[in-house]
Amino acid sequence: MKTTNKQSRKYVQSKTVFQASNIFAETHNGNYVVYSYGYHWPMFANINGQWYENSDRYSVSTSKQQGQAHPLVDTIKVSVNELKSLIS
Domain boundaries, given as residue ranges, for the chain: 8-87
pTM: 0.92
Residue 6 is predicted with a pLDDT of 92
C-beta pairs of 39-46 under 8 Å, 24+ apart in sequence: 41/80, 42/80, 42/83, 42/84, 42/87, 43/69, 44/12, 44/69, 44/70, 44/71, 44/75, 45/83, 45/86, 45/87, 46/15, 46/71
pLDDT, tens only, 13-55: 999 999 999 999 999 889 999 999 999 999 999 999 999 999 9
